[in-house]
């Protein structure tokens, strides 16, 4: 029974990974790509690791999988924010149809 729940978690994680990578190819802008792909792929990989934890239980491998989940959730938003800030400072333009750019207004004021 618990193996079937673990397989369901892994399949959901793979579908999130696939959607994140399709967003990485499809969307028009650096910032849109960053938002779609980072969130989807982080959630998908955390779901795969949680499936591995459900397979193994509280053994060494399962606890390492939980540790890896915590580490990914802590570090992925930090790296995404650093990339977005670096891209904006290095002068990457937004998409033509973007509505507002608050960071540019803050830098000018």
Partner 1 sequence: MNRRLRWLLGLLIIIALFIVIIFYPPASLLEWQSISLMRFFFILLLCCIFCLYRILRGPTPADRVVAIDILGILIVGFCAVLGIPTGRPWYIDIGIAWALQSFIGTIALAKYLEGKGFEE
Q: Which residues bind partner 1 (CB under 8 A)?
A: 3, 7, 10, 13-14, 17-18, 20-22, 24-26, 30, 33-34, 37-38, 41-42, 44-45, 48-49, 51-52, 55, 59-61, 64-65, 67-68, 71-72, 75-76, 78-80, 82-83, 85-87, 89-90, 92
Is the CB of residue 41 less than 8 Å from the CB of residue 27?
no
**Minimum CB separation from partner 1 for residue 80, in Å?**
7
Is the CB of residue 82 less than 8 Å from the CB of residue 95?
no
Q: Report d(CA 55, CA 33) in Å as an integer.
A: 33
**Minimum CB separation from partner 1 for residue 38, in Å?**
7
Q: Residue 84 half-sphere exposure, CB side, CA atoms within 13 Å?
A: 19
């Amino acid at each position: 029974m618990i193996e079937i729940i673990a397989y369901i978690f892994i399949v959901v994680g793979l579908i999130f990974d696939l959607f994140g990578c399709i967003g990485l190819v499809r969307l028009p802008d650096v910032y849109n790509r960053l938002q779609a792909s980072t969130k989807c792929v982080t959630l998908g990989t955390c779901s795969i690791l949680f499936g591995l934890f459900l397979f193994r239980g509280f053994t060494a491998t399962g606890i390492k999988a939980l540790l890896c989940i915590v580490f990914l959730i802590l570090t992925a938003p930090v790296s995404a924010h650093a990339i977005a800030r670096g891209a904006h400072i290095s002068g990457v333009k937004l998409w033509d149809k973007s509505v507002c750019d608050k960071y540019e207004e803050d830098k000018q004021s």
